[in-house]
Amino acid sequence: MAQDETSDEVLYEVREHIATITLNAPQRMNTISRAMLNALTARLTEANEDPAVRCVILTGSGRAFCAGLDLSSPGAGGIGGNTLSTTLDLRNTPPTVLQAMDKPTICAVNGGAAGYGMDTALGCDIRIMAESAKLAAAFVKRGVVPESGGTWFLPRMLGWAKAAELIFTGRTLSARECLDWGLANAVVPDAELADRARALAREIADNAPLAVQASKRMMRMGMNETFPDHVHHVYLQLLPLFRSQDMAEGMRAFMEKRAPRFEGR
């Protein structure tokens, strides 16, 4: 196990090839301050670049996953203020870093996820929600748009009509409603959330990491390209996998009727 407490408000732990990133400002329902944005970006990047990490769990401490951006005064580390910028650089912010990650990501939604928190949860590959958790698309009720990916994710996840219903009404969905709408993979009792998320992460981490990551890259590319182009790109991804030690190990394990031991090489 390795843990670094550079930021007490974004905790980071690696164990059994699984990185767990925890938003840790429960006193303000894990609203994201500017410092937390930077720390979360750093931790996501670190997990993605660490060859020992094969899956990432993102969760929160306390009764909320993330209640949105911290809009307190900038002097307090928040993102509030009246200054407008026309030169925003979003390349190294959590939504874009999360979307570009090759490592699989699981959001263990432990409580309310509103605004920025909802978009961040949607940016993960898989969502497991505690029974008490909610997704609150409250953007239009605050006079803003889903600023961190919601307008990109939701039409793709739900189709235009359901996405329009959710975004235009600013509705809050319970965990069970999220499951019914297809926004959650599973809903579990609150006390079982961490164990269930970790069990799924272990199942992913037991597979060949290079193949898992290549599969995620291909899924991401496939959303924006034609089928002939996609097949060509898949073939190009297969070429280095054919030469990998993990593929040879996978074939040996299959023939020997045993569990494979992948090393990510």
CATH number, residue 228: 1.10.12
Q: Rounded to two decimals, what is the model's pTM? A: 0.88
Residue 186 has pLDDT above 80, yes or no: yes
Q: Does residue 225 share a domain with residue 144?
A: no
Domain-ending residue, one of 171, 190, 205:
205
Residues 178 and 143 in one domain: yes
Q: What is the DSSP string of 50-110?
A: -TT--EEEEEESTTEEE-SB--S-GGGT-S-SS---S----TTSHHHHHHH--S-EEEEE-
Residues 169 and 239 placed together within one structural domain of the fold: no
Flag whether 17 is in a domain: yes
Examine the domain organization and report whether 52 and 13 are in the same domain.
Answer: yes
Q: What is the mean pLDDT of the chain?
A: 89
Is 198's pLDDT higher than 80? Answer: yes
User: Is residue 265 assigned to a domain?
Assistant: no
pLDDT at residue 254, rounded to an integer: 92
**Residue 79 pLDDT class (50, 70, 90 cuts):** low
Residue 1: pLDDT above 70? Answer: no
- 112 shares a domain with 69: yes
Q: Tell me, yes or no, whether 87 and 214 share the same domain.
A: no
pLDDT tens, position by position, 212-227: 999 999 999 888 889 9
- Taking a C-beta distance cutoff of 8 angstroms, is the pair 56, 101 a contact? yes
Let me know if residue 264 belongs to a domain: no
Burial 58-95 (b: 16+ CB within 10 A, else e): bbbbebbbbbbbbeeeeeeebbeeeeeeeeeeeeeebb
Please name the amino acid found at residue 173: L
Under the banding of pLDDT at 50, 70 and 90, the label for residue 93 is confident
Average pLDDT of the segment spanning 166-188: 96
Q: Give residue 176's domain range.
A: 2-205
- Report the DSSP pairing between strands 2-4 and 10-15: antiparallel
Identify whether residues 62 and 116 lie together within a single domain: yes
On whether both 122 and 244 belong to a single domain, the answer is no
pLDDT of residue 78: 52
